[in-house]
Amino acid sequence: MTETVVDQLLARAAAAEAVHKWIEAVALYEVALVRSPDHVPAMLGAAAAARANGDHARAVVFLTRADRTEPGRADIAAALGEALAATSRLLEAAAAFERARAARPLDAGLAARLGLARLAAGDAAGAVSAFEAALRLDPAEPSALGGLGSALAAAGRPLAAVEAFRRAGQSRPRADRAAALLSLGDMAGGFADLDAVAARPAWASRLPAWDGGPLDGPLVVSAGADPLDLVAFAPALPLARSLVAELILVAPKPLMRFAAALAGVGRVIADNDDSAGRAAAAAAPLAGLPHRLGLTAGSFVPTGPLLAAEPLLADRWSARLELGRGRPAIGLAWGGGLGPDDLVPLAGIGDLRFVALERLPSAMLARSSAPSGWEVVGTPVRVEHPGPDFEAGVDARVDCAALLGGLDAVIAVDGLPLRLAGLLGRPGVALLPAAAGWIWWLEGEKTPVYPSLSLLRQPPQGSFAGLLPDAVRRVRDRIRF
């Protein structure tokens, strides 16, 4: 076919795009590519139409083809990076932006987009480098100004992060600035930011905002969808309850059963229940409680366990795993830089049992002679598992909390099992990254939020696996083995 036919197809595709007929436009571009397989403008047009239609995965296909056909084009690599990011292929997106920047090294905007991609992919240090490069090229580059503080906070440099937010003129509250302020010990500023950015249900606007003072009627507290936030701010619930007639917690339905066992909670209402707004005299977001209560590092300290495991469930899991008989049982939770293959330092330890605390895919479980009948496959040390029905119900994390109550101690990376152990007051060792969340502070071996846990921090050039021998030693000391 002649180039004229291809041009006609492109013109028809453009006309379809003009009236938002995205599927038709993609189809016309594909016909053009059948006629002229190396026609890069048709590939780019098809990708743009696919993205406009919300089909980012299909856009990736067209852009990958264009990138291979004409390598070295910054515009194609950048567009590919955007499409990859939209499909959550974050490492590939960062690599695409790196190619784009290599082709246009003096483009501040591309450097900033690389920084955003690295930050989304979890490469905080790389994001800082890219944002700083963008600002050297253009001190006013908006994405770099806005992103540098976030990257510095994620990289564990809270002081520099706060200064970057200040230089950028970002005076409005934001969650990452709050985390940086809290890590620096500025509890008032950090908690104020968290209160300001906390999500508020529509019904909460119809109630008076609680000011942290005594209240004769019920207080309704809205928790977000993230269970980590629920456990992070749980220490504030009993303090709030002491000032009000009743504390009603509004939580997502999968978390209701777990939330009902938290200290200070009188009732739990599902977040899709319209009666929540009619049940109380005032409202507050859970993340806003520390600010409204005026909590400091010293007052944000629980006086006892903040969570009670359900007795029947605790008995069930203890019986299945035969806990309390023979060797001490240590709960394990990995992830975030510590994988099953990294448990080599635990191999050869015969005086302790290890039990996985997470629900795992069936492919990772195998029948065994362990008391529960199950263990994790592919680990260098035997790790028992409660079984395929562990955490299989609709009520999130009640099984894990019940199991933790029967274990002797826990060794875990930062995550829900570790924080549940802290709420329960169970002894354990937290394996923390160099840039840990605000509840773990910047340094030290203890946090007032979870006083039963001992903290081990990953060295700048070290690994989580290297912390395991010390973790085992600390666990033995705690359980007086």
Q: In sequence order, which residues have a C-beta less than 8 Å from that of residue 71 and are 6 or more positions away?
A: none
Nearest to 44 by CA among 33, 54, 34: 33
303 inside domain: no
Domain that holds residue 431: 311-479
> Are 352 and 462 within one domain?
yes
Which tokens sit at 176? 């990452």
Is residue 329, in this structure, part of any structural domain at all? yes
* Whether residue 179 is found in the same domain as residue 214: no
Contacts of 226 (CB under 8 A, 6+ apart): none
DSSP state of 343: G
Look at residue 1 in the predicted model and tell me its pLDDT: 45
Question: SS3 of 197, please?
Answer: helix
Domain for residue 33, yes or no? Answer: yes
Residue 183 sits in a domain whose CATH number is 1.25.40.10
3-state secondary structure of 337: coil
Helix 56-69, helix 40-52: angle, nearest 10: 160
CA angle 139, 145, 151 (to 5 degrees): 130
Altogether, the residues listed in the chain come to a count of 481
> Domain end: 258, 293, 328, which one?
293
In the numeric block, which tokens belong to residue 481?
């083995």
In a domain, 13, yes or no: yes
**Would you state the pLDDT for residue 310?**
94
226 & 166 share domain: no
Is residue 195 situated within a structural domain?
no
183/236 same-domain check: no
Contact predicate 25/13, CB 8 Å: yes
* Co-location of 269 and 171 in the same domain: no
CA 469 to chain centre: 27
- The whole model's pTM is what? 0.80
Two tokens, residue 336: 């975030």
Residue labelled with tokens 């795993």: 321
| Spans in the chain with pLDDT lower than 50 | 1
Is 258 inside a domain boundary?
yes
What sign does the dihedral 108-111-115-120 (CA atoms) show? Answer: positive
Of 231, 259, 293, which residue is a domain's last? Answer: 293
Residues 210, 181 within the same domain? no
Structure tokens at 293: 């209560």
Number of domains in the chain: 3
Boundary of a domain, candidates 187, 215, 245: 187
**Claim to verify: residue 218 and residue 257 sit in the same structural domain:** yes
Residue type, 50: A
Same domain flag for 436 and 336: yes
Distance of alpha carbon 158 from alpha carbon 169, whole angstroms: 17
Q: Helix/strand/coil (H, E, C) string of 263-329?
A: CCCCEEEECCCHHHHHCCCEEEEHHHHHHHHCCCCCCCCCCCCCECCCHHHHHHHHHHHCCCCCCCE
21 and 82 co-located in one domain: yes
Structure token pair of residue 254: 């999968």
Q: Write the CATH number for 345.
A: 3.40.50.2000
Q: Same domain, yes or no, for 236 and 327?
A: no
Task: Examine the domain organization and report whether 141 and 213 are in the same domain.
Answer: no
With respect to residue 299, please indicate whether it lies within any of the assigned structural domains.
no
> Residues 285, 366: one domain?
no
The pairing of beta strand 329-333 with beta strand 244-251: unpaired
Q: At 73, is the secondary structure helix, strand, or coil? A: coil
